[in-house]
Homo-oligomer: A and B are copies of this chain.
């Protein structure tokens, strides 16, 4: 794990992209966009969840297990090369093949030497219509993670994790300056008109709330575009809207809902300290009274 002297500031770039059916062209596009982001000063660059493929979890089908790959594997190899060439840090989600029958929704941190210096396995696994992840992914067993790098301390979470304040809290208590949430979330087309706005706002609001509660930056990276895994399915319209919130929960970078783009923000470590001094929530946590958090429900007498 890299633990060089830290900057006071570093620039984060989020790659919002659309995925095609061709895994190789997705990787090529990711590398191109990483180059662009690096050209514009991006030092820590994050890709969307499962960026190598379409969001196959819309369907339960054995054949999609073929998309899984080892760590290290071809994806980490290709990204390691560009990380080393450009002296950048990459947050790279991938479908991890761990063993026959054990697959994870994972990410790795690749440092500026092109080496894997962090590994997180998605802890909270969803399962609702067209997001059948419990079929594919074994829940993470590495716990929550934050990785100290030459830029900053990078907290790593994935998509569904974003609905759980516990995940944001524990990752922040590990020293994270920023919480990354590579994501694949969108609208069911038939629901969009009626529920789309409320769903999007819930999603962004709770993540801004994590920023406020913990005095950390939050960076959420989504894909865009309509993806169907079958011709006759409705598919999912991924809502993009990747964003970065500051430690007060203020949006400081915001992407569109339908275009491929790169967004940037400067992460200022002095701002984290200033905000936490002003709003000293971490000082006042009642850790003597939080045991109930480790229960499913507090209905026992």
Known: A128-B278, A164-B281, A209-B208. A173 touches B298 (CB 8 A): yes
List A18-71 residues whose CB lies under 8 Å from chain B.
none
Copies of chain A in the complex? 2
A81 at the interface (CB under 8 A from B): no
In the bound complex, CA of A168 to CA of B286 (Å): 13
In the assembled complex, 19 residue pairs joining A and B whose CB atoms fall closer than 8 Å, in A order, are A123-B289, A124-B285, A160-B284, A163-B212, A163-B281, A164-B285, A165-B165, A165-B169, A166-B290, A169-B292, A169-B293, A170-B298, A173-B292, A198-B248, A201-B250, A202-B212, A206-B213, A208-B209, A209-B210
Residues of chain B within 8 A (CB-CB) of A230 are none
Residues of chain B within 8 A (CB-CB) of A143 are 289
**Residue on B with the closest CB to A142?**
B289
Residues of chain B within 8 A (CB-CB) of A201 are 248-250
A125 at the interface (CB under 8 A from B): yes
Q: How large is the interface on A (under 10, 10 to 19, 20 to 34, 35 or more residues)?
A: 35 or more
In the bound complex, CA of A281 to CA of B285 (Å): 23
Is the pair A128, B280 in contact by a Cβ cutoff of 8 Å? yes
List A152-175 residues whose CB lies under 8 Å from chain B.
160, 163-170, 173-175
Known: A205-B249, A206-B213. A139 touches B286 (CB 8 A): yes
A282 at the interface (CB under 8 A from B): yes
The contact string, 1 if C-beta is below 8 Å from chain B, for chain A 245-269, is: 0001110000000000000000000
Is the pair A292, B170 in contact by a Cβ cutoff of 8 Å? yes
Is the pair B296, A285 in contact by a Cβ cutoff of 8 Å? yes
Is the pair A286, B123 in contact by a Cβ cutoff of 8 Å? yes
Residues of chain B within 8 A (CB-CB) of A286 are 123-124, 139, 164, 166-167
Counting chain B CB atoms within 10 Å of each CB, which of A126, A290, A295 scores highest?
A: A290
Counting chain B CB atoms within 10 Å of each CB, which of A164, A199, A250, A282 scores highest?
A: A164
List A125-140 residues whose CB lies under 8 Å from chain B.
125-126, 128, 139
A144 at the interface (CB under 8 A from B): yes
Is the pair B282, A213 in contact by a Cβ cutoff of 8 Å? no
In the bound complex, CA of A295 to CA of B286 (Å): 9
Distance to closest chain B CB from A73 (angstroms): 26
In the bound complex, CA of A285 to CA of B295 (Å): 9
Distance to closest chain B CB from A60 (angstroms): 18
